[in-house]
């Protein structure tokens, strides 16, 4: 049994991570701003009041967990807000950058001392953050923030290698969640998370720093 900490665990992909990990017997610490009946029903440890973009709230969680060992840290919390060239709101771009890129980096810094040789860090980014894969443009705030997260993940994979901590940079696929308006073209959270967990299981110091699709495809930067 390993200890997993999941951010943004009250719904969508984060909730499904908790469900599947609990089912296979792992210890799960589910963090969220506000819990949900679905999350409360899983029987995992729920830490609510955790806004990843608030230094104060992350510090509060850090104090609660103190020396608690974390084997796998899954940073899943994220937001998307529309931004096109014609309708660009700089504050919205900054907000997405804060939640999607800067917060996972600061969260990692806060909890790296709870991790050890063999621990793993999984960053839930998006294919929308791939420069090589960008053929449709737009979505400035989301794309820029996820590209920045990919870069943070790559640097973390280098910086944490000496500590024996490996890093996966993961795209869930197009998933039918609230973020995508429950897109009928999306795969289910079950299928996405099944693949994401397989990627995390196969993560090692040899393949650390790779940008994967949940289906195992290696994505271009």
Ligand X SMILES: NC(=O)c1ccc[n+]([C@@H]2O[C@H](COP(=O)([O-])OP(=O)(O)OC[C@H]3O[C@@H](n4cnc5c(N)ncnc54)[C@H](OP(=O)(O)O)[C@@H]3O)[C@@H](O)[C@H]2O)c1
How many residues bind to ligand X according to rule CB under 6 A? Answer: 29
CA atoms of 8 and 12, how far apart (whole Å):
8
| Binder of ligand X out of 58, 114, 119, 186 (CB under 6 A) | 186
Minimum gap (Å) between residue 79 Cβ and ligand X: 5
Q: Does 174 bind ligand X (CB under 6 A)?
A: yes
Assess 77 for contact with ligand X (CB under 6 A): yes
Least Å distance, CB 6 to ligand X, is 9
Interacting positions 115-134 with ligand X (CB under 6 A): 124, 126
Nearer to ligand X, 25 or 41 (CB): 41
Q: Does 13 bind ligand X (CB under 6 A)?
A: yes
Question: Is residue 195 close enough to count as binding ligand X by CB under 6 A?
Answer: no
Cβ burial, residue 151 (10 Å; 0-12/13-18/19+): middle
List 1, 135, 178, 206, residue binding ligand X (CB under 6 A): 178
Residue 99 in contact with ligand X, rule: CB under 6 A: yes
Q: Find the binder of ligand X among 114, 130, 157, 177 (CB under 6 A).
A: 177
Q: Any idea what the Cα angle at residue 50 is, between residues 200 and 214, rounded to 5°?
A: 20
153 Cβ contact partners less than 8 Å away, ≥ 6 residues apart? 121, 123, 125, 167, 168, 169, 209, 211
Residues making contact with ligand X (CB under 6 A): 7-8, 10-14, 32-34, 51-53, 76-79, 99, 124, 126, 171-172, 174-175, 177-180, 186
């Amino acid at each position: 049994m390993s200890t997993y900490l999941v951010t943004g665990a009250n719904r969508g992909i984060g909730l499904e991570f908790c469900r599947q990990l609990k089912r296979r017997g792992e210890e799960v610490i589910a963090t969220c701003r506000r819990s949900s009946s679905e999350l409360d029903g899983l029987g995992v440890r729920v830490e609510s009041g955790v806004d990843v973009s608030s230094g104060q709230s992350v510090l509060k969680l850090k104090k609660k967990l103190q020396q608690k060992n974390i084997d796998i840290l899954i940073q899943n919390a994220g937001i998307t807000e529309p931004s096109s060239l014609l309708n660009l709101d700089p504050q919205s771009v900054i907000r997405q950058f804060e939640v999607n890129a800067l917060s996972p980096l600061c969260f990692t810094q806060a909890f790296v001392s709870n991790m050890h040789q063999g621990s793993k860090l999984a960053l839930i980014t998006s294919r929308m953050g791939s420069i090589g894969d960008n053929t449709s443009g737009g979505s400035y705030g989301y794309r820029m923030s996820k590209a920045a997260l990919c870069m943070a993940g790559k640097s973390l994979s280098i910086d944490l290698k000496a500590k024996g901590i490996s890093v996966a940079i993961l795209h869930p696929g197009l998933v039918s969640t609230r973020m995508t308006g429950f897109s009928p073209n999306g795969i289910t959270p079950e299928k996405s998370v099944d693949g994401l967990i397989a990627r995390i299981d196969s993560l090692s110091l040899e393949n650390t720093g790779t940008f994967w699709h949940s289906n195992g495809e290696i994505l271009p930067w």
